[in-house]
A = this chain, B = another copy of it.
Amino acid sequence: MFSEQKIPNWLFKRAFLTPDRNALMFYNEKWTFNQLKEEAERTAKKLHYRGILKGDRVAVLLNNHAKMVIILHALQLLGCEAVLLNIRLQEQELAFQIKDSEARHLISENELLIEKKEIQLHIPNVILSIEQLEETAEKDFEYVTEFHTDDICTIMYTSGTTGFPKGVLQTYGNHWSSAIGNVLNLGLQENDAWLTAVPLFHISGFSILVRSVLYGIPVVLYDKFDEARINEDLISGKATIMSVVTTMLQRLVNNLGDRSYHPSLRCFLLGGGPAPVSLLEICKSKGIPVFQSYGMTETSSQIVTLSPEDSLEKIGSAGKPLFFSQVKIVTEEGLAEPQEIGEIVVKGPNVTKGYYKREEANEKSFSKDGWFYTGDVGYLDEEGFLFVIDRRSDLIISGGENIYPAEIENVILSHPGILEAAVVGISDEKWGQVPYAFFVEKNGWHVSELELQKLCEEQLAKYKVPKRWIKTSELPKTASNKVMRRRLRELVEKNEWGN
């Protein structure tokens, strides 16, 4: 694996090693690894029949369902690169990514293709719906039985808040080493099953597919996030690990009420940005095992995760880098001291080799010796634990002072009647930017702006207290359930929300 830089086709190898173990569960359907392999082979032969060839780049626009899992594996058997498209994007956003990635084919489904004429113009070759695929004949070809670690497996576009989205190149080696780094941290038990309600087109979801075949454990797949149904599964012991972002965890905990999770549930792997400490404290008090982590599309999922033994003591920290990865904090003066806030810079075999066709961005983000400048803000403590303050793009600069939204949101969320909160920086003639706060009340609560204002004034420097309070019934979110701060800013600036 080192000298040759090859790894076996992971689905084939897993199906050979443990053919009868469960690989995938979707509602009441179930596939063993052997069945998954056979389905992937069949599907690959159909794709090949329709003209998809080894080395082709194929855009994928699909809902989170079992067929998507099968198609993603089929593309690996064919030796195709998959461009994973976010189903919540607008048509022109999709068209941009398809054009930019130079995908030759598109695999989608009728529901998602309807009235999207424009994107079809950008596909030079085959456009195929899963409905058409059903009726397609099969054509034999030579399966890819070994992956080269430097070969591209997937391309995912980052939602970047400024500029055009960039295609992140993820190799087989990136995905593979991410999964290995994870197992050395989280361990691996015979009864493990990974609940997947995050999108497969995001790295949070796709990475679970890789872990599943490497570890020999099932993916318990959901087509959408449904806290009531998921809680039932977690109470009955259907899964032992679940990937979540803050909002999902919040909704699960609210829905859980006085019930308890099955003792075999051993990990909520929490990603997608810093979590409010109040939520982590609630989980701690209820004995809910939350492992904070830090990662992004560019690091092929988590690169920093809290170990089991630190999950309670180091609450609020994202943990330490995985076994084969490194993290440092850089300021304008160079390497930061412990506790000093700066840019989070990472390195490791799970880090992308770059953005597709973005020389300038690559030069800006990657150092010669392999360090990737994330643009995110945080610090390391004396023991080397990472604390993520915020995503740099969310940084609010007001009167020359840096304001990190998460700090303010933590205060607002400490109010017992608040379900969700988001703080964004809004342009201001006097200060450059000022913070505005959006909040969602819990059912049955009525929280006044004055209460929140006082709460913040008590706990925060004056310049950090939101200049405006906007009550709303829900926050706009990305497909991976991160709050879309940019959208909030746009709404205010377009005067759609009482400025």
A residues in contact (CB < 8 Å) with B? 1-5, 7-8, 13, 16-21, 149-150, 173, 177, 180, 183-185, 187-190, 192, 214-216, 307-309, 320, 323-324, 326, 348-349, 353, 370, 383-384
Residue of B nearest to A16 (CB): B384
The answer to whether B2 and A349 touch across the interface, beta carbons within 8 angstroms, is yes
Q: Which residues of B contact A20 (CB under 8 A)?
A: 309
Docked Cα-Cα span, A215 to B348, in Å, equals: 18
17 contacts between A and B (CB under 8 A): A1-B324, A1-B348, A2-B2, A2-B5, A2-B177, A8-B323, A17-B185, A17-B320, A17-B323, A20-B309, A180-B180, A183-B183, A184-B214, A184-B215, A184-B216, A188-B188, A190-B308
Q: Which residues of B contact A8 (CB under 8 A)?
A: 323-324, 326
Docked Cα-Cα span, A183 to B215, in Å, equals: 9
Q: Which residues of B contact A18 (CB under 8 A)?
A: 307, 309
Q: Which residues of B contact A21 (CB under 8 A)?
A: 309
The answer to whether B370 and A2 touch across the interface, beta carbons within 8 angstroms, is no
The answer to whether A17 and B307 touch across the interface, beta carbons within 8 angstroms, is yes
The answer to whether A370 and B4 touch across the interface, beta carbons within 8 angstroms, is yes
Q: Which residues of B contact A189 (CB under 8 A)?
A: 187, 189
Docked Cα-Cα span, A19 to B187, in Å, equals: 17
The answer to whether B177 and A1 touch across the interface, beta carbons within 8 angstroms, is yes
Residue of B nearest to A216 (CB): B184
Q: Which residues of B contact A3 (CB under 8 A)?
A: 150, 173, 349, 353
Beyond the given pairs A1-B173, A2-B173, A3-B173, 8 more chain A to chain B contacts, judged by CB atoms under 8 angstroms and listed by A's residue number, are A1-B177, A3-B353, A180-B180, A183-B183, A184-B188, A184-B214, A184-B216, A188-B188
Which of A2, A4, A20, A349 has the largest number of chain B CB atoms within 10 A?
A2
Docked Cα-Cα span, A143 to B184, in Å, equals: 24
Docked Cα-Cα span, A8 to B309, in Å, equals: 22
For the complex of A and B, list the 3 residue pairs with the smallest distance between their C-beta atoms, beginning with the closest. A1-B349, A187-B188, A2-B173
Docked Cα-Cα span, A19 to B1, in Å, equals: 30
Residue of B nearest to A179 (CB): B184
Query: Which of B2, B149, B188, B307 has a CB less than 8 Å from the CB of A150?
Result: B2
Given A8-B324, A16-B384, A320-B16, the answer on whether A188 and B183 have CB atoms closer than 8 Å is yes
Which of A21, A173, A187, A216 has the largest number of chain B CB atoms within 10 A?
A187
Docked Cα-Cα span, A3 to B172, in Å, equals: 12
Nearest-neighbour CB distance to chain B for A309, whole angstroms, equals: 7
Query: Which of B150, B173, B324, B384 has a CB less than 8 Å from the CB of A7?
Result: B324
Nearest-neighbour CB distance to chain B for A364, whole angstroms, equals: 20
Q: Which residues of B contact A320 (CB under 8 A)?
A: 16-17
Residue of B nearest to A186 (CB): B188
Nearest-neighbour CB distance to chain B for A69, whole angstroms, equals: 20
Nearest-neighbour CB distance to chain B for A125, whole angstroms, equals: 31
Residue of B nearest to A213 (CB): B323
Q: Which residues of B contact A19 (CB under 8 A)?
A: 383
Residue of B nearest to A10 (CB): B323
Q: Which residues of B contact A383 (CB under 8 A)?
A: 19
Docked Cα-Cα span, A173 to B16, in Å, equals: 25
Docked Cα-Cα span, A187 to B214, in Å, equals: 11
The answer to whether B183 and A184 touch across the interface, beta carbons within 8 angstroms, is yes
Q: Which residues of B contact A190 (CB under 8 A)?
A: 187, 308
Residue of B nearest to A183 (CB): B183
Q: Which residues of B contact A370 (CB under 8 A)?
A: 4
